[in-house]
Chain A
Amino acid sequence: MSRELPTGAITEISGAISSGRTSLTHSILAEATERGEFCALVDSLGAFDPQSAAQAGVDLRRMLWVRSNARIDHALKAADLILHSGGFGVIVLDLCEVAVRDLNRIPLSYWYRFRRAVENTPAIFIVASQHALVKSCARVQLEVRRERIQWRSLLFTGIDSQVQPRKLYERLVG
């Protein structure tokens, strides 16, 4: 999946709760660390679970985890610092479950700034959230929809999700 995402651009992943957004993010991180790249995760609410990420195949030693403790402004600044630092293959800004009121307060200029910072770099910048935020600054927008929850004899075994592209760029289509 991560090989199909554009480098030097913003990819937005959005979806409702329990739709599989985080699973998709983990799989992208796992593929990147498998390739030997270093990744960064800016976790706005500190919700990242290292256990499930490791089970998804993420090499935790090659991942920088920044927790902003529900300070969205800090999360945005941290993402900006990491983008300007360079050297990371995948950078994820996790805004899932942040209140819509707080998301709407994010100045649009941040997305333009991020787009400018990431372009001409070999990095994939992912913004994960409940609703589409980045709008025109995102090269690719993916919406994750849950199809069904798999139960087997009252044992939860997984979530079947469908990734619906809302905005594509040519390579992903081709």
Chain B
Amino acid sequence: MFACLYAPGCAKEALLALASSFSPLVENTARDTVIFPIVGLGKLIGTPQQIAAAVARAGDEAGIQANLAISTDPDTAVLAARHLRGITLIPPGREADRLGALPVHALETAPELIETLDRWGVKTLAELAALPELGFIARFGEQGARLLRLARGETRRSLRILDAAERFERRLELEHPQTLLEPLLFLISSLLIELMQGRSFNRVTLGLVLDNRAEHHRTLEFPVPVRDPHVVLKQLQFDLEAHPPQAAIVGIHMELNPVAPRALQHGLFIPQAPAPEKLQLTLARLAALVGADNVGSPELLDTHRPDAFRMRPFSPENSPREKSQPAVLRFAFRCYRPPVAAQVRVKAERPASVNAREVLTAAGPWLGSGDWWTSSPWAREEWDVELNDGGLYRVYSASERWYLEGMYD
């Protein structure tokens, strides 16, 4: 037996909550319609009449105005709930009788088919159910067969159960405030092992409830799905070492975001690449060692401003191999960051010495400017100079001061 609730104008969540309070198996048929089985409720509540009364009572308490229909066929229950007001109980075998008075327009099907039935003079489901089955199916095919089954209350389909999104989260209240990292990691490790169990995740959110009632939240995003709890634990350790909570910890909340596992086909002739999970751990260790800003892949910015680049996370997964541009430069440059202030003696409008070292050859000036339309414009005069120490440097003058920008090597 199935019960169908039809409540136009009611919030979908409230309707689902009402149905879920009677059965864990709920089909979310439409925005205003839900179906759930009542077979198991016999021993708990009683007869279908008593179950219907209990559902109606619960609906009244929740403030839901709904039609309720109970039938052995879910589609019959839907039709009855949508077109018969109040509570409708359809005994087994009486589906066609109870639905017979409904107009054929009650069936959700193609308008052309309804129009054809109208032209034939078929107005009600009872008249439709009385039509010869073979001839009707020969004219309308599978769609016609379904309509006949609906009109006769014989669909007998299974419910499309609403699969509630599983949440991977755990909370842990500590008996004593925890101040040391190692015991805390032990507790986090047990939560991780309990939650992961071979599944893949791409985000971990760790919430630490502090003794001073504040909360310390940390979120780690992984570029590729991870399924090894030890990898996640190590990264959480590095993160907590870099961002320690400001008070003792009295509770832990952990939530993981599940994703499909990574599937990758390696090739025999593809050059080796770092293993993703191992690489993530290495990058986390490197970030803990030298700072997260100092680890990554450089990306050049689309500007003429000197030394314009940004660091982006190093991710072999997102670095497709592309044909590189042919090399055009025959010398490399080494930057001084930040540029070093230099004492430059100018003679005949050319640098004659840099930091008391004689300039042997100088090429320039190369004038550059940009971003004058922004709040941080730049303008400079560059020189390539060979000094008597053997080095070939780039110096520039900006705002009437000289700087050593780097060295050609």
Q: A50 contacts which chain B residues (CB < 8 A)?
A: 298-300, 309
Query: In the complex, what residue of chain A is closest to B279 when comparing beta carbons?
Result: A85
Most buried by A among B336, B391, B409: B409
Hey, what's the 0/1 contact readout for A146-160 against B, CB within 8 Å counting as 1? 100101001111110
Query: In the complex, what residue of chain A is closest to B294 when comparing beta carbons?
Result: A67
Check A60–B299 contact: CB distance below 8 A: yes
23 contacts between A and B (CB under 8 A): A18-B392, A20-B332, A22-B334, A23-B331, A30-B327, A36-B321, A38-B272, A46-B337, A47-B406, A50-B298, A57-B326, A59-B322, A61-B297, A61-B319, A64-B296, A65-B296, A81-B282, A81-B289, A86-B278, A96-B334, A97-B407, A149-B386, A156-B363
Query: In the complex, what residue of chain B is closest to A16 when comparing beta carbons?
Result: B390
Is B328's beta carbon under 8 Å from chain A? yes
Q: B332 contacts which chain A residues (CB < 8 A)?
A: 20, 22-23, 25-26, 49, 52-53, 56
Is B295's beta carbon under 8 Å from chain A? yes
Choose the segment among A70-78, A103-111, A134-142, A165-173 that binds chain B (4+ C-beta atoms closer than 8 Å): A70-78
Check A51–B274 contact: CB distance below 8 A: no
Q: B334 contacts which chain A residues (CB < 8 A)?
A: 22, 47-49, 96-97
Is B399's beta carbon under 8 Å from chain A? no
Check B409–A86 contact: CB distance below 8 A: no
Which of B275, B294, B298, B329 is close to A56, meaning CB atoms less than 8 Å apart?
B329
Smallest Cβ distance from B242 to chain A, in angstroms? 15
Smallest Cβ distance from A125 to chain B, in angstroms? 15
Query: In the complex, what residue of chain B is closest to A68 when comparing beta carbons?
Result: B290
Query: In the complex, what residue of chain B is closest to A67 when comparing beta carbons?
Result: B294
Is B378's beta carbon under 8 Å from chain A? no
Is A37's beta carbon under 8 Å from chain B? yes
- Whether A21 touches B409, Cβ cut-off 8 Å, given contacts A53-B332, A57-B324, A85-B278, is yes
Query: In the complex, what residue of chain B is closest to A27 when comparing beta carbons?
Result: B327
Check A69–B294 contact: CB distance below 8 A: yes
Is A62's beta carbon under 8 Å from chain B? yes
Smallest Cβ distance from A86 to chain B, in angstroms? 7
Which residues of B, 253-295, contact A by the 8 Å Cβ criterion?
Answer: 270-275, 278-279, 281-283, 285-286, 289-291, 294-295
Compute how far the CA of A35 lies from the CA of B321 in the bound complex, rounded to whole angstroms: 9
Q: A56 contacts which chain B residues (CB < 8 A)?
A: 327, 329, 332
- Whether A82 touches B282, Cβ cut-off 8 Å, given contacts A23-B409, A56-B327, is yes
- Which 7 interchain pairs have the tightest Cβ spacing? A87-B274, A50-B298, A57-B327, A85-B282, A55-B329, A22-B332, A22-B409
Q: B335 contacts which chain A residues (CB < 8 A)?
A: 46-49
Compute how far the CA of A149 lies from the CA of B295 in the bound complex, rounded to whole angstroms: 34
Q: A27 contacts which chain B residues (CB < 8 A)?
A: 327
Q: A149 contacts which chain B residues (CB < 8 A)?
A: 361, 386, 392
Check A60–B298 contact: CB distance below 8 A: yes
Is A122's beta carbon under 8 Å from chain B? yes
Query: In the complex, what residue of chain A is closest to B299 when comparing beta carbons?
Result: A60
Compute how far the CA of A107 lies from the CA of B146 in the bound complex, rounded to whole angstroms: 83
Which of A37, A51, A66, A85 is close to B300, meaning CB atoms less than 8 Å apart?
A51
Smallest Cβ distance from A84 to chain B, in angstroms? 8
Q: A87 contacts which chain B residues (CB < 8 A)?
A: 272-275, 278-279, 316
Check A49–B290 contact: CB distance below 8 A: no
Compute how far the CA of A56 lies from the CA of B334 in the bound complex, rounded to whole angstroms: 13
Q: B295 contacts which chain A residues (CB < 8 A)?
A: 64-67
Smallest Cβ distance from B285 to chain A, in angstroms? 5
Most buried by B among A37, A53, A54, A64: A64
Q: A23-B330, A52-B331, A87-B275 are in contact. List 4 more A-B contacts (CB 8 A).
A: A34-B324, A59-B319, A60-B297, A149-B392
Is B325's beta carbon under 8 Å from chain A? yes
Check A17–B409 contact: CB distance below 8 A: yes
Which of A18, A58, A81, A156 is close to B391, meaning CB atoms less than 8 Å apart?
A18
Q: B361 contacts which chain A residues (CB < 8 A)?
A: 149, 151, 154
Compute how far the CA of A68 lies from the CA of B289 in the bound complex, rounded to whole angstroms: 8
Is A92's beta carbon under 8 Å from chain B? no
Most buried by A among B285, B318, B327: B327
Q: A64 contacts which chain B residues (CB < 8 A)?
A: 283, 295-297, 314
Which residues of A, 1-54, contact B by the 8 Å Cβ criterion?
Answer: 16-23, 25-27, 30, 33-38, 46-54
Is B113's beta carbon under 8 Å from chain A? no
Is B356's beta carbon under 8 Å from chain A? no
Q: A49 contacts which chain B residues (CB < 8 A)?
A: 307, 332-335, 406
